[in-house]
Structure 1
Amino acid sequence: MDAEALLPLAPQLHWLSLLERELFLFAAFWLVLGALDELAVDLAWLWLRATGRIPTRRADPPPPRLSGHTAVFVAAWDEAAILATTLTQVSLAWPQPELRLFVGVYRNDPATFAAACRGAAHDPRIRIVVHDRPGPTTKADCLNGLYRALEREETRHGLVFRTVILQDAEDMVHPAAIGVIDRAIGTTAMVQLPVRPALAGGTRFVSGHYADEFAESHTKGLVVRDALGLDLPAAGVGCAVERGMLRLLVAAGSEGPFAADSLTEDYELGFRIRRMGGGSRFLRLRDSNGELIATTSYFPNEIGPAARQKARWIHGIAFQGWDRLGWAGSWANRWMMLRDRRGPMAALVLGTAYLLLAIEAVLLLSGTPHADNSVWAPWLWSFATFLMLSVLWRSTWRAAFVAREYGWCEAGFAVLRIPVANVIGIMAGWRALAAYCGNLRGAALRWDKTTHAVHPAAGVRLGSPT
């Protein structure tokens, strides 16, 4: 670029160079710290695998009868498009007579109520519960309404439920999951099964990044926590809780077992159960065909809805979680809680890193020298080299986990989707911060849910394990 043409911009470019130096120091420090954090979990997973503490297990076939009465809770708001399919699929996958499905709908959502009626038409085990408040409230508030309906069912019919399973209105359940849960409850108070995002047709660069993240976190992160006996967050789907533990949660003083003033009541549930002395397990098993026993769901395939959904997760886990759960337990538990709550900081650091790349491009094109050559001292170059190697390391791990569930072709897309995931994370982090500040100023919590138009049972691509 012509140096004379840039002379009028020299002061601005000099200040831009100074800004670049500060951004580099900030981003390098936190990115290296984050890379070391991930490396520690990787090494823990490798050690546990090598010592046989996390073997690959096969599940027994689902039993024709359950050990006791089991309830499935499905909270639904604005789910007219898929709720009937969900109820039909659950009814067919889990035909055991001891099962009852409690479906929560709102009186000001007649379309969802009609869909629930269609789904329940051929299964007397389904109970439709109309919430006593207009929607949307919070999901936890709706679940508490279902819990009260379960208590009425017990009183009316003289039943004692043994297990409560949480599912979402868009879920497709695995037939063998009910057997895994039935055998585990009684030995532990809570069971969490993996979540397996379905791959949407057409472009999958947004929806597919959920598959990448869950394939890694539900193969490595939660497996490590379970093997080390650490606190386990519940995912809200494919999650089962012993009935007696729900009774204890209610006795603790709340209006129901689920935290109605939380955006991520499912995440909190696991920690509350452990703090009340209950055990929890994350169970990762495969059926006789090698398919993962998991809950399958479609996730948003557009950036806006994806950022909105993840903002709710970050708001509930990072901001509300800090306020409501604090920091408790062993150093390892606190480490995992810190990892859970890193969303806002990750958004800031990633945003800084991308801004740094843009500034570097401007300086290179203008031929402007760096403000201080000591910035590029050998030890900082070592930082940069370490970060590049960590990116390759992370990409390899993610590709391997995705290949296991979705095939090697999808693993290649997983690497290409990493920048997409970063952009969504940045948007979600800032949106979560704005929402949290709004709540501090008195704004009411609302069920900012994701819209679902297609159910995975209508054409899910399951892939093949390798």
Structure 2
Amino acid sequence: MIDAALLTDILGNYLYALKFVAMLTAVLLIVSGVDDLFIDLVYWLRRGWRALTVYRRHERAGFDLLQTSAEKPLAIMVPAWQETGVVGPMAELAASTLDYENYHIFVGTYPNDSDTQAEVEAVCRRFPNVHKVVCARPGPTSKADCLNNILDAILQFERDAKLEFAGFVLHDAEDVISAQELRLFNYLVERKDLIQVPVYPFERRWNHFTSMHYLDEFTELHGKDLVVREALAGQVPSAGVGTCFSRRAMLALLEDGDGIAFDVRSLTEDYDIGFRLKARGMLEIFVRYPVWDGESGRRRFARSRIQASVVCVREYFPDTLGAAVRQKARWIIGIVYQGYRTHRWSTSAIVNYFLWRDRRGGIANFVSFAAVLIFGQMALLWLVQQLWPAAPRFLSIFEQDPWFRAVLAINFVLMCNRIFQRLFFVAGYYGPTQALLAIPRLAWGALINFLANCRAIRQIVQQGDPRRVAWDKTTHDFPSVDGVQRTRRPLGEILVEQGALSRESLDRALAEPVPGLRLGSRLVHDGLVSAAQLAAAVAEQNEVPAEDIEPYAPTQALLSTVPHDLLLRYGVLPLREEGTTLVLASESGIDPVSLAALARRLRRPVRYVIAHRGQVVVNTRHLLAGGADPRSELHEWADSTGAAARTVDSLWRRYVSMQVSLGELLMSLGHVQPTAFRALMLRFGGSVQLGEFLVDNRVISADVLHRALALQEHLQPTLRAVLERAADPAPLIEGGAA
């Protein structure tokens, strides 16, 4: 049995050791606490000053201001390694919620990740503004390497499409993008080179402390700290998501890296870029932009409706201890250890101050965890003394030094301030319940950060250099959209399945294409399928109905409900109104992004049906250009020949079905990519002819336009030509004809 005196000696020595550790920890906590207090004071003084001056003279900018800028093309860059089940819902949600149309999503995949590639391909078939990029090397490489591959593909797309993206946006596959985010970037991108919006994690159940501690940290960091950083230093670190780089910034990064924009040796390439651009004298902004209309939304106690409506990125963060430790260890290595090797102390005292704040985590994480352990032990000793009156006064050892008691008192005040700041910012976005739960999550967060620091140091020691540590990917969750993965079936396969076309005829048509005609048009021109059969197949492909439209069916009153530029841009025709819903006709499928954009522009629900080939083109040409009704010539011919009404109708349908739009012809010939043509049409207002617009914008040359118009005239016969060949059952265009 252990002697009581020995136990007393051991306990005494332990308490003295604890005392000195507590003293050192308390001093370090004061340094950290005063550092944080400075940020708090600057924030609140700045906020008060702006409330008394700026916002008394000017109203807060809101939703309407973002609508004033014409949509510039934006490229969204999404690295994807083993993201099955994530990319599809992201594109689906973006198409249905983003109040923007002129954007393209480029998804970086890997040659050894076939599952993700297959999902991205399915998404690309349904969303023409989503593009698959396959990285040169097998994965997983670093996120920076994947981004470099994506950027190469974007620049190649620009050359092929003859357009330039105004902004390059970073997102992860699991991000839920705010409806107004792209409009905000569009508004700022000509004046700012790095634009960062806040990140607010999604809530989980109250007891998911691991995931929810991210909520606490990001809310305060992106509610206060980065606001002060941008105000004092004019430098903003990218969060890796919700970041937009101007074209000028991206070209500068490519120039600095000798053609490589993102540092492949860095685990936090987003953090690195903020300093690189600042060194180039470029302008960076962290923007908290509320889009609350001032009326909607039920007020919750302690929750700010303005702050809770800021444009931001939402996502789920890791929910297991191991995943959180891996992710944070990567951040610590990249920011603290790699960052020190890459970005030495600068000549700017303000920038150095924020570099210190970035790097202090290498020490502060250990100090915070030590403080939690010491506080726990002291609380336990106090409880023993309360429950056991005869026990030795263990805590008396901490009462012998007045200066230490003063240090503890200061730390207590600083700790109360820290808790208040955390409560205030968490409550402002998430409400009072999450704010109260943030208090116990402080201790859990300290444990995660401590373990992450230990892991980071262990990895660096194993590799011998922080720059050699490999990228450690975090698994992602994504909010459910509807659980259905939709894809587009090939048109030819649908026609064969419906019995409208034989397999042999399909194979022959695919092997012998007609220049200027897509597959469906070729089949109709050759008489292999009827316009009605083609419409039925296109309708099934897009999961919408097909309808046979009467010639010049829309009334002028109905046409006036849709601006003419929208008719030309989307190739649609208004058919009728069903309550508040406007029914449109189109000869091809309308992608979800365009359909949502139409609904926003028209400010009413819309749906569409598939018309027979040529019906929308002929109706639009006549209704917009005016002039004589071409059917009058047909009726004169019928009167002179005594042709039956059925014959007249058949000839009219033949004439209509053989019309070819200039856009289809140019895409079929390869002069314009379909995805690029869609982006170009967003800028086409209809004030000039489409051919002139394409030549003026240097998409095609005047010579190409001349030859395309000549081919269009050859492919689409006049009504007179149709009547002259009325007795000839052979197709007007032979397969393979020029």
Give the TM-score normalised by structure 2.
Answer: 0.59
With over 3 angstroms needed to count, the CA separation of the structure-2 counterparts of 1:458 and 1:376, relative to structure 1, is: farther
Contact 2:99 2:180 in 1 (8 A): no
Q: 3-state SS of the aligned residue for 1:161?
A: coil
Quick check: 1:407 aligned with 2:431?
A: yes
Matched AA of 1:400: F
State how far apart, in whole Å, the 1-side matches of 2:376 and 2:408 are.
Answer: 17
Q: 3-state SS of the aligned residue for 1:235?
A: coil
Q: 3-state SS of the aligned residue for 1:376?
A: coil
Q: 3-state SS of the aligned residue for 1:102?
A: strand
Contact 1:65 1:97 in 2 (8 A): no
Q: 3-state SS of the aligned residue for 1:228?
A: helix
Match of 1:191 in 2: 195
Choose which of 115, 122, 125 in structure 2 pairs with 1:118.
122
Matched AA of 1:18: Y
Match of 1:381 in 2: 405
State how far apart, in whole Å, the 1-side matches of 2:313 and 2:369 are.
Answer: 33
State how far apart, in whole Å, the 2-side matches of 1:122 and 1:374 are.
Answer: 69
Alignment of 1:4-23 (within 5 A): 6-23=4-21
Unaligned runs of 5+ in 1: 460-466
Match of 2:87 in 1: 83
With over 3 angstroms needed to count, the CA separation of the structure-2 counterparts of 1:358 and 1:418, relative to structure 1, is: closer
Choose which of 292, 296, 303 in structure 1 pairs with 2:321.
303
Deviation at 1:413, TM superposition (A): 0.9
Deviation at 1:60, TM superposition (A): 2.5
Deviation at 1:338, TM superposition (A): 0.9
Choose which of 60, 65, 76 in structure 1 pairs with 2:63.
60
State how far apart, in whole Å, the 2-side matches of 1:116 and 1:376 are.
Answer: 68
Deviation at 1:347, TM superposition (A): 2.1
Alignment of 1:117-136 (within 5 A): 117-136=121-140
Deviation at 1:327, TM superposition (A): 1.4
Matched AA of 2:89: T
With over 3 angstroms needed to count, the CA separation of the structure-2 counterparts of 1:71 and 1:329, relative to structure 1, is: farther
Q: 3-state SS of the aligned residue for 2:285?
A: strand
Match of 1:108 in 2: 112
Match of 1:391 in 2: 415
State how far apart, in whole Å, the 1-side matches of 2:145 and 2:245 are.
Answer: 17
Alignment of 1:444-459 (within 5 A): 444-455=468-479
More off after superposition, 202-211 vs 124-133: 202-211
Q: 3-state SS of the aligned residue for 1:206?
A: helix
More off after superposition, 164-173 vs 94-103: 94-103
Deviation at 1:28, TM superposition (A): 0.8
Matched AA of 2:419: S
Match of 1:325 in 2: 343
Matched AA of 1:91: A
Choose which of 374, 387, 411 in structure 2 pairs with 1:356.
374
More off after superposition, 223-232 vs 164-173: 223-232
More off after superposition, 191-200 vs 387-396: 387-396
Alignment of 1:171-250 (within 5 A): 171-201=175-205, 203-250=207-254
With over 3 angstroms needed to count, the CA separation of the structure-2 counterparts of 1:64 and 1:150, relative to structure 1, is: farther
Q: 3-state SS of the aligned residue for 1:338?
A: helix
State how far apart, in whole Å, the 1-side matches of 2:233 and 2:481 are.
Answer: 35
With over 3 angstroms needed to count, the CA separation of the structure-2 counterparts of 1:50 and 1:458, relative to structure 1, is: farther
Choose which of 438, 443, 447 in structure 2 pairs with 1:419.
443
More off after superposition, 232-241 vs 350-359: 350-359
Match of 1:463 in 2: none
State how far apart, in whole Å, the 2-side matches of 1:71 and 1:313 are.
Answer: 26
Contact 1:172 1:457 in 2 (8 A): no
Contact 2:459 2:469 in 1 (8 A): no
Matched AA of 1:36: V
State how far apart, in whole Å, the 2-side matches of 1:168 and 1:378 are.
Answer: 53
State how far apart, in whole Å, the 2-side matches of 1:375 and 1:412 are.
Answer: 32
State how far apart, in whole Å, the 2-side matches of 1:361 and 1:408 are.
Answer: 27
State how far apart, in whole Å, the 1-side matches of 2:292 and 2:476 are.
Answer: 31
Match of 2:726 in 1: none
1:193-222, CA deviations, whole angstroms, 9 ceiling, x for partnerless residues? 110111024623221111111111111001
Deviation at 1:368, TM superposition (A): 6.0
Quick check: 1:264 aligned with 2:268?
A: yes
With over 3 angstroms needed to count, the CA separation of the structure-2 counterparts of 1:231 and 1:376, relative to structure 1, is: farther
Contact 2:92 2:481 in 1 (8 A): no
Q: 3-state SS of the aligned residue for 1:121?
A: helix
Matched AA of 1:219: G
Deviation at 1:351, TM superposition (A): 3.1
State how far apart, in whole Å, the 1-side matches of 2:428 and 2:204 are.
Answer: 18
More off after superposition, 264-273 vs 435-444: 435-444
Matched AA of 2:185: I
Unaligned runs of 5+ in 2: 294-305, 386-390, 484-738
With over 3 angstroms needed to count, the CA separation of the structure-2 counterparts of 1:387 and 1:266, relative to structure 1, is: same
State how far apart, in whole Å, the 1-side matches of 2:467 and 2:185 are.
Answer: 38
With over 3 angstroms needed to count, the CA separation of the structure-2 counterparts of 1:356 and 1:374, relative to structure 1, is: closer
Deviation at 1:176, TM superposition (A): 0.6
1:170-196, CA deviations, whole angstroms, 9 ceiling, x for partnerless residues? 100011111111111111111001101
1:28-83, CA deviations, whole angstroms, 9 ceiling, x for partnerless residues? 11001111011000000011111108869443255498543211000011111322
More off after superposition, 428-437 vs 401-410: 428-437
* Corresponding pairs, count: 457
More off after superposition, 6-15 vs 422-431: 6-15
State how far apart, in whole Å, the 1-side matches of 2:161 and 2:61 are.
Answer: 36
State how far apart, in whole Å, the 1-side matches of 2:179 and 2:441 are.
Answer: 31
State how far apart, in whole Å, the 2-side matches of 1:200 and 1:235 are.
Answer: 22
Deviation at 1:243, TM superposition (A): 1.4
More off after superposition, 152-161 vs 216-225: 152-161
Alignment of 1:21-170 (within 5 A): 21-52=19-50, 57-61=60-64, 63=67, 66-94=70-98, 96-170=100-174
Contact 1:263 1:315 in 2 (8 A): yes
State how far apart, in whole Å, the 2-side matches of 1:445 and 1:93 are.
Answer: 38
Contact 1:249 1:256 in 2 (8 A): yes
Relative contact order higher in (CA < 8 Å, ≥ 6 apart)? 1
Match of 1:276 in 2: 280
Cα RMSD for the two superposed structures? 2.6
Contact 2:381 2:395 in 1 (8 A): no
With over 3 angstroms needed to count, the CA separation of the structure-2 counterparts of 1:31 and 1:155, relative to structure 1, is: same
1:305-339, CA deviations, whole angstroms, 9 ceiling, x for partnerless residues? 11211111111000110111111142121111111
With over 3 angstroms needed to count, the CA separation of the structure-2 counterparts of 1:110 and 1:445, relative to structure 1, is: farther
Contact 1:190 1:281 in 2 (8 A): yes
Deviation at 1:340, TM superposition (A): 1.2
Contact 1:191 1:282 in 2 (8 A): yes
State how far apart, in whole Å, the 2-side matches of 1:297 and 1:444 are.
Answer: 29
Choose which of 322, 344, 358 in structure 2 pairs with 1:340.
358
Choose which of 431, 438, 446 in structure 1 pairs with 2:455.
431
Contact 2:168 2:246 in 1 (8 A): yes
Q: 3-state SS of the aligned residue for 1:301?
A: coil
1:427-454, CA deviations, whole angstroms, 9 ceiling, x for partnerless residues? 1111111122233259944331211233
Q: 3-state SS of the aligned residue for 2:473?
A: coil
State how far apart, in whole Å, the 2-side matches of 1:45 and 1:233 are.
Answer: 18
Aligned-residue identity in percent = 30
Between Structure 1 and Structure 2, whose CA radius of gyration is higher?
A: 2
Matched AA of 2:416: L
Q: 3-state SS of the aligned residue for 2:126?
A: coil
With over 3 angstroms needed to count, the CA separation of the structure-2 counterparts of 1:159 and 1:108, relative to structure 1, is: same
